[in-house]
Amino acid sequence: MAEEEPAARITLTKVYEEVRELTKTVTMLAEKLPTHTEATDQKLTDHERRLRALETRMWAAVGGFGLLAAASPYLARLFMP
């Protein structure tokens, strides 16, 4: 005969204790969630501000290089005889 597999015995008391622990954990997380959300929103706002500043500088540089490219034939005539 095959050996019997060990059986796990889960009582209602054990289930009740686990549910109580889970309730405590969820309550603790629910209390921490608003402060975590506020911190995340602040970081997101900071990143958006930084990205907008970088985009502004990038487009200014693109414009400057565009003007330089447009003026390069005229500048070449000044320096080349």
Q: Which is higher by pLDDT, 64 or 75?
A: 64
pTM of the model: 0.46
Q: Which is higher by pLDDT, 2 or 40?
A: 40
Alpha-carbon distance values, 25 to 4, 29, 57, 74 (Å): 37, 6, 47, 72
How does pLDDT run across 19-68, given as a tens digit for each residue? 999 999 999 999 988 888 888 888 888 899 999 999 999 999 999 999 99
